Amino acid sequence: MTAAIDLLKAIRTGRLQEVKTLLDAGTPVEIEDGRGDPGLPLGVACFMGHVDIVRELVGRGAKVNTADNAQITSPLSMAVRGRRTEVIKALIEMGAEVPKGMATGLTNQEMLIARWRGRHYEASTGKPEQTDDEHPVFEEIEMVRCYGTDTSVLDADLIRAARDMDKK
C-alpha cells in the first residue's frame, strides 16, 4: 500500500517524473477511493490541475469516463470542482462524455474545439493520428507580410470544422 500512497503524494505535488517511475515499478494506475470506486489517482490529478499527469495516467489505462460522469468523484466532476479548465479540455479531448446540463466552465466554442481535437489528434500525445499507409497533408501558405493578418479567419475555419463534425 505504500507505493499507492507514494503515487498519490507524487500526483498531489505535481511530480510527473516520480509518477512515471512509480507506474513503471508496477504501482496500479487504478486505486480505489474510500467508497471502493476505482480512479482515485486520476481524480486527484484532475482536481489539482496537473494536465501532464492526467494525460500520463490515461495513457497508462486510467478510465476517463465513469458509469455516470455527473457523479461527484468522476474525473470530469473533479476537474469541474477544482475549476481546472485546461484539465476539462484535455478530458474532453480524451473522450470524456459531458452530461447534459453540466456546467464545465467552458464556452460552447471551447467545447467544440476540444471535441474536434479529440477526434483528430491522439489523446495522450496531442499529435495527429496516422496509419502506416497515411501521410500527413500540409497546406502551403505563402505570406509576403504578416502585418495586419486576420487570424480570426483561421479560428472560424476550426469552429466550422468542429460544428460539421458534431452534425455527423
Q: Which CATH number does the domain housing residue 41 bear?
A: 1.25.40.20
Looking at residue 124, its pLDDT comes to 46
What is the H or E stretch that residue 85 is in? helix 85-93
Looking at residue 160, its pLDDT comes to 78
Looking at residue 64, its pLDDT comes to 95
Q: What is the domain count for the chain?
A: 1
Q: How many residues does the chain have?
A: 168
Domain that holds residue 85: 2-167
Counting Cβ atoms within 10 Å, is residue 94 exposed (0-12), middle (13-18) or buried (19+)? buried
Q: What's the predicted TM-score (pTM) here?
A: 0.74
Looking at residue 163, its pLDDT comes to 80
Averaged in consecutive runs of 10 residues, what is the pLDDT profile of the chain (168 residues)? 91 97 96 88 96 96 94 94 96 95 93 88 52 58 60 70 77
Residue environment code for 33-48, b if the CB has 16+ CB neighbours within 10 A, otherwise e? eeeeebbbbbbbbbbb
Angle at 122 between CA 117 and CA 123, to 5 degrees: 75
Looking at residue 164, its pLDDT comes to 81
Looking at residue 33, its pLDDT comes to 87
